[in-house]
Amino acid sequence: MKKIGRLHVLTDTDLQDCFSHVELAELAIAGGADTIQFRQKTGETIQMIRIAEQIKALCKRAGVSFIINDRVDVAIASHADGVHLGQGDFPIPLARKLLGEGAIVGGSARNAEEARKCFLEGADYIGFGPVYSTSSKEDAGPASGLDLLRQVVEKIPLPIIAIGGINKDNTLLVRETGAYGIAVISAVCCEKDPEEATRCLRRLLEARQHD
């Protein structure tokens, strides 16, 4: 059974320089993240593999899923649990071929059409957004909003992970759309205490909804 997780924390060292990828992964896991995604857009591949191997070891010990953003080669080299691929990245069917049926392959979608494409290509989950406007991702595009997220949740029979501008103030609203989970970058990485920030989001995800 593939463990997709409901609270995905993407590690990032471009938006902040207080914590390394490995430190962020450790703090997020301690705070209750059940999926860690290693996201680094530039740098030497060999360095990325070394970092990914360290995070993989942390995740394995904690029973947390470990996913690499974009880089199928780094995922293979570090024995990650899977990859997350954007619309312009490595093709989902080819990633599946290289990583095998047991790997987690996620796809990004900004609208219902792209979400359907991910589903038809065999993605295990869809990262949908940006739900709110975000500065964490340069090419994020305009915010899709909660209504579109709700439509995608209803139409696409895959776990939908909402991403983009999600924080402690709007997590409950996102949850009400029926989304399977959330993915965050700055709401954890850019906080003074990433562990406590993760714990706060986890509590909101698990809070009993009002009748």
Catalytic residues: 39, 108, 137
Interatomic CA distance for residues 117 and 125, integer angstroms = 12
- CA-to-CA distance for 108 and 188, rounded, in angstroms? 20
Q: Could you give the CA distance from residue 210 to residue 45 in angstroms, rounded to a whole number?
A: 47
DSSP code at position 114 = H
Strand, helix or coil for residue 27? helix
Cα of 109 vs its chain's centroid, Å: 12
Give the orientation angle of helix 145-155 with respect to helix 112-120, to 10 degrees. Answer: 30
How many angstroms separate the first and last alpha carbons of the chain? 32
**Do 14 and 22 form a contact (C-beta atoms < 8 A)?**
no
Q: Which long-range contacts (CB under 8 A, 24 or more apart) does 116-119 make?
A: 116/155, 116/156, 117/87, 118/92, 118/158, 119/156, 119/157, 119/158
Burial of 46 (0-12, 13-18, 19+ CB in 10 A): exposed
